[in-house]
Amino acid sequence: MHVTPNTVPETAPAGIRHTARDVPFGTTSGTVAAASFRAEPASSGGHAADALSHEARPLPAGQPINPEAVISVRGLRKSFGRKEILHGLDFDIPANSICGLLGRNGAGKTTALSILSGQDRATQGEVSVMGREPFEDVETASHLCFARENQKYPESFKAGHVLKSAPWFFESWDQDFAERLVRMFRLPVETKIQKLSRGQLSSVAIVVGLASRAPLTFFDEPYLGLDATARQLFYDVMLQDYLEHPRTIVMSTHLIDEAADLLEKVLVIDDGRILMDADADSARSAAFSLSGPAAAVGQLTEGRSVLHSRRIGGLSSVTLAGQPDAGLAAAAAEQHLEIGPVGLQDLVAAIGSRPTDTVGENAAETPKESR
Ligand X SMILES: Nc1ncnc2c1ncn2[C@@H]1O[C@H](COP(=O)(O)OP(=O)(O)OP(=O)(O)O)[C@@H](O)[C@H]1O
Instruction: Give me the residues that bind ligand X (CB under 6 A), please.
Output: 80, 85, 103, 105-111
Minimum CB distance to ligand X smaller for 209 or for 324: 209
Minimum CB distance to ligand X smaller for 107 or for 348: 107
Minimum CB distance to ligand X smaller for 159 or for 267: 267
Minimum CB distance to ligand X smaller for 42 or for 332: 42
CB of 105 to ligand X, least distance (A): 3
CB of 269 to ligand X, least distance (A): 7
CB of 91 to ligand X, least distance (A): 15
Minimum CB distance to ligand X smaller for 45 or for 303: 45
185's CB contacts (< 8 A; 6+ apart) are 203, 206, 207, 230, 233
CB of 86 to ligand X, least distance (A): 8
- Angle at which helices 228-244 and 175-184 cross, to 10°: 160
Under a CB-based contact definition with an 8 Å cutoff, are residues 259 and 226 in contact? no
| CA 264 centroid distance within chain | 12
Comparing C-alpha atoms, which of 172, 177, 261, 269 is closest to residue 220?
269
Minimum CB distance to ligand X smaller for 78 or for 161: 78
CA dist., res. 330 & res. 335, Å (int) = 9
| CA 201 centroid distance within chain | 19
Instruction: Supply the DSSP symbol for 367.
Output: P
- Sheet holding 124-129: strands in order across? 83-93, 71-80, 124-129
| CA 101 centroid distance within chain | 2
CB of 114 to ligand X, least distance (A): 8
Fill in the amino acid letter for 174. Answer: D
Minimum CB distance to ligand X smaller for 80 or for 131: 80
CB of 28 to ligand X, least distance (A): 16
Minimum CB distance to ligand X smaller for 205 or for 332: 205
182's CB contacts (< 8 A; 6+ apart) are 159, 163, 189, 207
CB of 234 to ligand X, least distance (A): 18
The secondary structure element, H or E, covering residue 289 is strand 287-293
The secondary structure element, H or E, covering residue 310 is strand 306-312
Cα dihedral across residues 211, 217, 222, 228: positive or negative = positive
Minimum CB distance to ligand X smaller for 103 or for 292: 103
Under a CB-based contact definition with an 8 Å cutoff, are residues 90 and 61 in contact? yes
Under a CB-based contact definition with an 8 Å cutoff, are residues 86 and 63 in contact? no
